[in-house]
Chain A
Amino acid sequence: MKKSKSFWAFLILAAVVYVVVQFFIGSGLINIYYSNLLITIAINIILAVSLHLVIGITGQFSIGHAGFLAVGAYISAIATMKLELPFILAVVIGGVIAALAGLIVGIPTLRLRGDYLAIATLGFAEIIRIALFNIDYVGGAAGMQVSHLTTWTVTFVCLVITILVITNFTNSRHGRACIAVRENEIAADAMGINTTFYKVLAFAIGSFFAGIAGGLFSHNFYIIQPGNFGFLKSFDILIFVVLGGLGSLTGSVISAILLTVISAFLAQYPETRMIIYSLVLVIVMLYRPQGLMGTREVTDLFKWKPAKGGN
């Protein structure tokens, strides 16, 4: 009962936000720059939240997320540009193939732990990128031109679905199993949790949404090139999650918004852009190594009533 109530509350709120933004766009109060910025932010939130599931909830240190973004971007671009499928279907296909890629990468590598896993995922992402360079069907280095199909509506719907699915997953017994893996893998194993299964599951779901983000990404920016999906892109996504606070969904959402806005704002100061960006990164990490939110959610700040029993 309670759960469905909050579920509907979120949906209504999301609808209100959507209607308001749509009204602003329609009435011209938000020009194309801001609507495009909103789309970019939404895509980055999807990426951040999908990686949050892998790193924040399941505790698997993946630094190759851009690889799955690339898979989603290219597969969906092939679907619309070469196979002439509808855009929505293409995005879903991109997500599914990215999830498959996640399975293929995840099954062998998720046996590894900590830094070794990180390096293995980085390696896989680089292999995906190099493979794209060498496939002439998708244009190789020249890249692939893609029609502009991404709209604010589609992006927002994808964003809402992503947040819904990932929160519900986190909340379910599967999610709790993932958290158990994060907290102590050996103990979780001893409790009878199939750790490998949950790690791979979280990884595949994360990859699926990264693929969705890829589909939105490729149809928003006219051209995709393998060079855009290097390890620096993976680091960008990783930074969203860590800066927000590992294990905090709202934290990754907020830091994705903040960093995207900061980065867009700094584009007009090309000489100092990256210096300021990196300084922000280092200073935040030095003074708040647990990230902006730590493991808390924004809602924790508003808890004026102590938690009731049985909650």
Chain B
Amino acid sequence: MDWLQQLINGISLGSIYALIALGYTMVYGIIKLINFAHGDVFMVGAFIGFYAIKGWGLSFLPALIISMAFCAVFGVLIERIAYKRLRNATRIAALITAIGMSLLIEYGMIYIRGAQPEAYPADVLPNKAINFLGVHINSQSLFILLTSIILMIILQFIVQRTKMGKAMRAVSLDMDAARLMGISVDKTISFTFAIGSALAGAAGVVFGVYYTKIEPLMGVIPGLKAFVAAVLGGIGSIPGAMVGGIFLGVIESIVSAAGFSLWRDAAAFVILILILIFRPSGIFGKNTREKV
């Protein structure tokens, strides 16, 4: 039953990647920016959740909501301060700004509270090992999977069924045409950042509860991995980000389970490169051909 155990390990990890990847993919879809600061919003979310739980003694759900709300505002602030001016600049200038923002958030956090890690309290969610077919399933990992799925359903609903979601899709398809149609592009972009950042904040809290350890540089690697996941799934595609995240988590588990844990990150990148070369638009992406 080892493989089942490994599969569950992978899906739990992957659902966190998926939550972060959603923010990446939405922001990229709408303004074609690789928002490197996204991983750090995830970190901020984890800390907000931590202070809400430990400082104010809140339980999981209120902490999750506070963290999401804070991150939404934070994400919009980042967009308004740093990215808005650069909307018509070269993509690379925007990318460098994103790297700068990422460093600023990381080291701002270290300046405020130091670099040492913090541990989430263990009793936020019931932590019981459920024995199922000889496999230890942690009740927390079920909670986390559930949280991720609910959030993704809500997101899918917002994007597909609401007016704002329609505006988002329109702006990502053609910004100028959307503006001509009377859509407020600025508002829509801010809204996209708010949603993406809120999801990153949620991922931060979920990560904290599941993995316990949070620290100011925790966003770097998951941020990068989530980006890989977003590309795997087809950047710009919401179901793609979910599938890409879970796929990446499972691949990592399989590679570790096969005894190549040191090559795990390399495996993720090898798959990334293979996908880029043979199917550059990712699993779910639309293949667009550049025209003259």
**A-side interface residues toward B, CB under 8 Å?**
55, 61, 108-109, 111-116, 118-120, 123-124, 126-127, 130-131, 133-134, 186-187, 231, 235, 238-239, 242-243, 246, 271-275, 277-279, 281-282, 285-286, 289-291
Contact = CB atoms under 8 A, between A and B. Distances in A.
B96 A242 contact: yes
B51 interface: no
B56 interface: no
B272 A120 contact: yes
Contacts of A114: 91
A272 B100 contact: no
Interface string B258-280: 00001101100110110011001
B276 A119 contact: yes
Interface in B44-89: 82, 85-86, 89
Interface in B90-127: 90-97, 99-104, 106-108, 110-111
B34 interface: yes
B34 to A, nearest CB: 6
A291 B270 CA distance: 33
* Majority-rule SS of B interface residues: helix
Interface of B: 28, 32, 34, 82, 85-86, 89-97, 99-104, 106-108, 110-111, 224, 227-228, 231, 235, 262-263, 265-266, 269-270, 272-273, 276-277, 280, 290, 292
A273 B108 CA distance: 10
A108 B277 contact: yes
Contacts of B276: 109, 112, 116, 119-120, 123
A245 to B, nearest CB: 10
13 contacts: A108-B273, A108-B277, A114-B91, A120-B277, A126-B265, A127-B266, A282-B82, A282-B101, A285-B94, A285-B96, A285-B100, A289-B85, A290-B93
B104 A246 contact: no
Question: Nearest 3 pairs between A and B by C-beta?
Answer: A281-B100, A289-B89, A123-B269
Given A112-B277, A123-B272, A123-B273, A286 B86 contact: yes
Given A133-B262, A275-B107, A116 B93 contact: no
Given A108-B277, A119-B227, A61 B96 contact: no
A278 B108 CA distance: 10
B262 A289 contact: no
A291 B82 CA distance: 16
Given A186-B290, A282-B97, A282-B100, A55 B269 contact: no
Contacts of A242: 92-93, 96
A235 B231 CA distance: 20
A133 B292 CA distance: 45
A271 B111 CA distance: 6
B86 A285 contact: yes
A91 B228 CA distance: 34
